Structure 1
Amino acid sequence: MDIQIKKGSGLIVTTKKYNIGVIAELSWDTTKSWKIDLDLFCAATSFNPITKIYMLENMSALLYHANLKCYDGALVHSGYEQTGVKEVDDEAITVFLNKLPVIITDVIIGACIDPVKSIPLSTFKNAANAKITIRALVEGAGQLKEILSVNLQTKFTTGILIGMYTRVGDNWHFETINQSVKCHTNTPIQEILEAVPCDCL
């Protein structure tokens, strides 16, 4: 397997020999003074170079707490956590890149605050010890490489685009986005996906 870090851009992995996976982990701690719920999600999309739009093949390609598995297990969500009290990562998504159909060109990873289950006007700043970690997983090779770790407590916002994997031939290139998004509706995931920059390819 070829793994290399590209300065200023991200990680390149090739899927020819091993079953390559990506693990995105979201964690935070509960507090007695502030009720807040964080959600981790990813979207398997196809990029249209003419319209410059990332398209979902169907809604099942959007993985979050209400849709825990898609593409025959290529994307798997660990389940819904509302409290942040787990001793391990509260929510996790595993993406097996070489199981994705060829129509999928990009996998977008992000997180948001649930506006219904959180105190109004909550931001990531109110979530104690909130962070997202992304790791590369190589099944059968015993390798787990941290790609990115983001401290969410520094962000006075309600949503974030962490990064995205883009298919490049037999490889997948991870691009860090780390873009805050202020969500104003009860559909924050949709707002975050609409903020994906087209120049990140």
Structure 2
Amino acid sequence: MSVRQALLALLEQGPMYGYQLRAEFERRTGQTWPLNVGQVYTTLTRLERDGLVEGTGADAEGHVVYRATPAGREEVATWFTTPVARTQPPRDELAIKLALAVTVPGVDVGTVIQQQRSATMAALQDYTRLKRRGPDAGESTDRADLAWGLVLDSLVFGAEAEIRWLDHCEARLRRAALDRPAATAAGEVAAVRDENGEVVR
């Protein structure tokens, strides 16, 4: 997730200070990815260093207020018109866990899959409840409601895809278990042939 571009996009709409940016980001994304205010201010410092935002002074309460520069607005426009790259996928902890589980002796991969499926199903049920309680993104005129609805849809689709993938992993493990006895038997036959120096049919 690009906090940098998200903060720039918010600042393009008007000057804000760090706590306002954090609150606005979390409001629009339904607090799905909470931001640490320290991360916000660190990002603002880097954006200012890069000439993408500038401080406009402090407000009456002493908060340093920032606004996007023309270069910052240009970067936001580029971000919105450039597809998210899939050339280097983000690290997926679950995929890494399963890849290692099938190669580490003594790990019950089936149990790993079942536990994850239960957790993902519970998350999917939570997302579905949130969708039922919240305003319908297709009917709401509030753009923040629409934004949260889109994020929630993404979470639902992601959980559904993860459950399908876990089902696929389980099926592959079953096939591999069925193929293993045949491969073991073939290895034993080869060993007999090698030991006696004869070709076994």
Output the TM-score relative to the length of structure 1: 0.22
Larger radius of gyration: 2
User: Quick one: higher RCO (CA 8 Å, sep 6+), 1 or 2?
Assistant: 1
- Pick the structure with more helix per residue: 2
